[in-house]
Structure 1
Amino acid sequence: MRYAISYVSSAARDLSETEINDVLKESEIRNNQKDITGLLLYSEGNFFQVIEGEKEIIKSLYSDINKDSRHFNLIKLFEKTIQNEAYDGYKSDFISEDARYGRSDFKYYQHYLEVLDKPAKQATSQILRAFIQ
């Protein structure tokens, strides 16, 4: 069984676009190496992340994330055991004001949430929708 945690947070005010891109790239590389799957999005000063993997690894990673000074106001959306993994890898994306995200992008990210129970899926979908629109 896999374990998953999802959260949203606010980027530190002095975090540059280059630093944000570095965070996204580093997360993708590090998490793929540790068999952590999930999604990390950045949009308009906020991060949204879903991480899943072996329980102790995920709990340890979330503890490190919680201490990271590059963001604040972490709000955990859910933390739970999941039956099936939703991701076949790790995806990170920078959703900028220039990007044109629409229904197809929302559906692309949302299909990964299918393994969640109904309340977690609904809450996460609403937050994901806010990131995309």
Structure 2
Amino acid sequence: MVKTVLKYISYISRQAHILNDANLESLLTNCRKKNTERNITGLLISYKGHFIQYIEGEPDKIDKLFGKIKKDPRHYEVVELASDHITQRQFSNWSMAFRKVDEDQAEDLLGYRRLQRDEVFNQTGDKMNSPAMQLLNSFVNNL
């Protein structure tokens, strides 16, 4: 049996304008519809004017979507945290799971470590151990 090769990309970005709940709901409705059509699954976290996202699906579709994401005017400073090929989805049941995280929740997920805004965009060192990736991993592990 040949396993399907999938790809994931995780990234963080700064929102151009902090989105209110109605704008976030509209964004999610649109993303979920398009992701379902493209068989893309993932997770989006909104944290203090930032997006932290993980998307997975067929490699060409993920690359195309990430290209669009990088050009989307609703956010800027898109920093890829990690990408790789996988054989099994992590979010097979969610076209786009979502969570708005406040400072206290972020501290709880990170083990009471205060998440510094500028630190999440630090491009030196190991991106897999960046505070944003730690927040994403901690959130997923606490689902």
TM-score scaled by structure 2?
0.67
Match of 2:96 in 1: 91
**Distance apart, 1:93 and its partner CA:** 1.9
Amino acid across the alignment from 1:54: E
* 8 Å Cα contact 1:43-1:131 kept in structure 2: no
| Counterpart among 42, 47, 52 of residue 51 in structure 2 | 47
* 8 Å Cα contact 1:3-1:54 kept in structure 2: yes
* 8 Å Cα contact 1:25-1:92 kept in structure 2: no
Question: Percent same amino acid at aligned positions?
Answer: 27
SS of residue paired to 2:10: strand
Amino acid across the alignment from 1:127: L
* 8 Å Cα contact 1:21-1:94 kept in structure 2: no
* 8 Å Cα contact 1:9-1:74 kept in structure 2: yes
**Aligned pair 1:128/2:136, yes or no?**
yes
Q: Structure 2 matches for 1:58-77, cutoff 5 A?
A: 58-77=62-81
TM-score scaled by structure 1?
0.71
SS of residue paired to 2:70: helix
Distance 2:79 2:70 in 1: 10
Match of 2:6 in 1: 2
- Bigger CA radius of gyration: 2
RMSD: 3.0
Q: Which has the higher helix share?
A: 1
SS of residue paired to 1:90: coil
| CA separation of 1:79 and 1:100: change in aligned 2, threshold 3 A | closer
| Counterpart among 1, 20, 31 of residue 24 in structure 2 | 20
**Distance apart, 1:97 and its partner CA:** 4.0
| CA separation of 1:92 and 1:99: change in aligned 2, threshold 3 A | farther
Distance 2:40 2:103 in 1: 29
Unaligned stretches of 5+ residues in structure 2: 110-125
